[in-house]
Structure 1
Amino acid sequence: MKSRLLLVEDDPEIARVVRDLFLREGYEVTWATTGLEGWEDFQASHYDLVMVDLMLPEMDGFALCKNIRWKSDVPMIIISARKEDEDKVQGLHLGADDYIAKPFSLVELKARVESHLRRWNRYRGTPVYEKKSDYTNELTIYWEQQKIKLSGNEISLTSKEYDLLKVLAQNPKRVFSKNELYEHVWNYVDGEGLHTVTVHIKALREKLKDPIKNPVFIQTVWGKGYQFIGELM
């Protein structure tokens, strides 16, 4: 079975050429025209490789790469007309695996995609996260079932509370700003929802019985955001 590709490109001429190339090769290709549409497509389905332009409406390619990498180790290739070294470095630091500048050779793009897919298919035999994770202070997260237990009792979380816990717990010790969490969990890129993040974090802490002053799971980093400090057993 051929791999599934996500192409996020707002230039219709480039996108159609790239899409048609891989369709002829037997791949399944989803084309998104904005960064936000690409992020929604990525969350809604499974992909084996993502190709991302940097200059995108609604959510730029840097933010999209960052969001995808928090969620998955899927190969990402940046395709961009921006050739500055700092853009390449920033994209790679955000988790992209490769960078190809426009205009580019379709033969070269195809070869790079095939190379990354070979490595990805070898890697996928070992998942990054097991089916469940046990933490000190009697917290267990069941990743596939999307549920948690505290002291042996199942805790009912809303979908947003679980998504917040998941992105924090799967990126331990990393500090997430409210803007980043709102963008990642609620799929919006404006700053109108910062209070929403605060409310959901508060509710999540209450359900985890995690005090603000002496937290064992979610710590506030004043002036910056939140980080997960739970220790794996």
Structure 2
Amino acid sequence: MNARLLLVEDDPEIARVVRDTFLREGYEVTWATTGLEGWEDFQERSYDLVLIDLMLPEMDGFTLCKNIRWKSDIPMMIISARKEDEDKVEGLQLGADDYVAKPFSLVELKARVGSLLRRWRRYQGVPDLENKTAYMNGLTLHWNQQKVLIHGHEIDLTGKEFDLLKVMAQNPQRTFSKSELYQHVWHQVDADGLHTVTVHIKSLREKLMDPVKTPQFIQTVWGKGYRFIGEPV
């Protein structure tokens, strides 16, 4: 097996051709038919490269690219019938590594995938994130163990609270809207979830002993959302 690919494509004819092509080349391929399904698949397994269509049901390809890039530096390739320069620029700005317009040559697609994987493997020896990170004001995050300490004392976070803290801490100083956090942590796009985010952020702050008016870790950006401002030691 060369690599494990995640293919997110709602057109069954195109998806089957692409999937079968890479299966014959020795790749392992997971096929998702919606953006939300692709996001769930990405959360459940590790992949070496993701192929993403832009025009997807439930969660569009732009949002999926953004969510994946928040979590991982994995190579991402957009395959789309949308050929406008604006779409290409937006996709690349969201973290995609390449953009292939439909209809495309399968020979070219295989070559581009192989090139991205070679580059990824070249730099794969450098860890994306240390096992733990210590911040000023006593906060320590143990990433793999999902453990959080304040001044050496472990605090009890729920899974969702840890996931909220993790996505913000891994993207420091970046402002996340409530809808973005809900999509990333709850894997849904329901607008009713914004109150859920507010409640969990409030609980997370209380456990971190992080006051709203003088925050050390989670800052409210009024009218926009939240961002992590903790400074690594």
Bin the TM-score by the shorter chain: over 0.9
Query: Structure 2 counterpart of 1:53, which letter?
Result: D
Deviation of residue 122 (structure 1)?
A: 1.2
How many residue pairs match? The answer is: 233
Where does residue 122 of structure 1 map in the other structure?
122
Query: Structure 1 counterpart of 2:147, which letter?
Result: K
Where does residue 30 of structure 1 map in the other structure?
30
Deviation of residue 129 (structure 1)?
A: 1.0
Residue 230 of structure 2 aligns to a residue in which SS? Answer: coil
Where does residue 79 of structure 1 map in the other structure?
79
Where does residue 225 of structure 2 map in the other structure?
225
* Matches of 1:14 and 1:79, distance apart in 2: 10
Deviation of residue 212 (structure 1)?
A: 0.3
Deviation of residue 189 (structure 1)?
A: 1.0
Deviation of residue 126 (structure 1)?
A: 0.6
* TM-score normalised per structure 1: 0.99
Per-residue CA distance 1:49-105 (angstroms, 9 max, x = gap): 000000000000000000000000000000000000000000001000000000000
Deviation of residue 190 (structure 1)?
A: 2.2
* TM-score normalised per structure 2: 0.99
Per-residue CA distance 1:144-182 (angstroms, 9 max, x = gap): 111111110011110000000000000000000001000
Counterparts of residues 207-222 of structure 1 (less than 5 Å): 207-222=207-222
Query: Structure 2 counterpart of 1:117, which letter?
Result: L
The alignment-based identity, stated in percent, is: 77
Where does residue 16 of structure 2 map in the other structure?
16
Where does residue 4 of structure 1 map in the other structure?
4
* Matches of 1:2 and 1:84, distance apart in 2: 32
Where does residue 193 of structure 1 map in the other structure?
193
* Matches of 2:45 and 2:145, distance apart in 1: 17
Query: Structure 2 counterpart of 1:15, which letter?
Result: A
Residue 137 of structure 1 aligns to a residue in which SS? Answer: helix
2:60 matches 1:54 = no
Runs of 4+ in 1 over 4 A off after TM superposition: none
Residue 183 of structure 1 aligns to a residue in which SS? Answer: helix
Query: Structure 2 counterpart of 1:195, which letter?
Result: H
Deviation of residue 128 (structure 1)?
A: 2.0
* Matches of 2:208 and 2:6, distance apart in 1: 36
2:181 matches 1:175 = no
Please, which runs of 5 or more residues in structure 2 have no aligned partner? none
Where does residue 206 of structure 2 map in the other structure?
206
Query: Structure 2 counterpart of 1:227, which letter?
Result: R
Counterparts of residues 37-186 of structure 1 (less than 5 Å): 37-186=37-186
